[in-house]
């Protein structure tokens, strides 16, 4: 009969030394082209455009965000979601730095500037991948760019993933700022 102490020690060693555990949270989870249909399930038509980054656009984004983003994209992919002729909203693909590497998000924004939904397209960190879970992301629905979007303020934090949680809030603010800077939102 194995003692409880030895069993717990062996199980702990398996968890710590099992190959592949560190990279288990990394991955690509959704294509940018599929994101608008997931985030706006009632859309009937979607169109995409790419807006190249220029110094003038960067200045407008910075002004709308009230701070510099952690990463500038070369271009912003903006998808317009429609139901018939009515525009439902926009999906913007943005990246923000987590702890060390960029996290790619698709942020769906309603025409009134509120967040409809968001998804993690690619996560490149070894830890903190819980930010891609629905139970975490759903708390951003209805938020605006004026909300703090910070852990322990208006967003539930994830233990061990604080930097990824902060990156998610910055990505939401950046997506709304991009839409304001491009004139899609008033």
**Cα distance between residue 68 and residue 61, in whole Å:** 8
**Cα distance between residue 102 and residue 7, in whole Å:** 39
- Find tokens 């070894």 and name the residue: 126
Cα distances (angstroms) measured from residue 52 to each of 49, 109, 168? 10, 20, 22
**Cα distance between residue 88 and residue 43, in whole Å:** 7
Give pTM, 2 decimals. 0.86
**Cα distance between residue 107 and residue 36, in whole Å:** 9
The token pair at 184 is: 């899609």
Does the structure show a pLDDT above 60 at 17? no
pLDDT, one tens digit per residue, over 66-110 is 999 999 999 999 999 999 999 999 999 999 999 999 999 999 999
pLDDT, one tens digit per residue, over 31-62 is 999 999 999 999 999 999 999 999 999 999 99
Domain boundaries, the chain: 26-181
């Amino acid at each position: 009969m194995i003692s409880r102490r030895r069993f717990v020690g062996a199980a702990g060693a398996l968890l710590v030394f099992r190959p592949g555990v560190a990279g288990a949270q990394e991955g690509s989870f959704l294509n940018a082209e599929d994101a608008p249909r997931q985030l706006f399930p009632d859309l009937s038509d979607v169109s995409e455009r790419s807006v190249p980054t220029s110094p003038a656009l960067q200045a407008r984004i910075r002004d709308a965000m009230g701070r510099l983003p952690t990463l500038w994209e070369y271009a912003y992919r903006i998808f317009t979601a429609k139901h018939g002729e009515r525009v439902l909203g926009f999906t913007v693909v943005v990246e923000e730095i987590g702890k060390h590497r960029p996290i790619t998000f698709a942020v769906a924004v309603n025409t009134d500037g509120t967040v409809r939904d968001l998804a993690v397209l690619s996560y490149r960190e070894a830890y903190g991948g819980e930010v891609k879970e629905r139970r975490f992301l759903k708390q951003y629905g209805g938020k605006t760019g004026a909300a703090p979007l910070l852990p322990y303020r208006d967003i539930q934090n994830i233990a061990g993933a604080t930097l990824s949680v902060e990156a998610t809030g910055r990505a939401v603010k950046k997506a709304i700022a991009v839409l304001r800077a491009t004139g899609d939102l008033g």
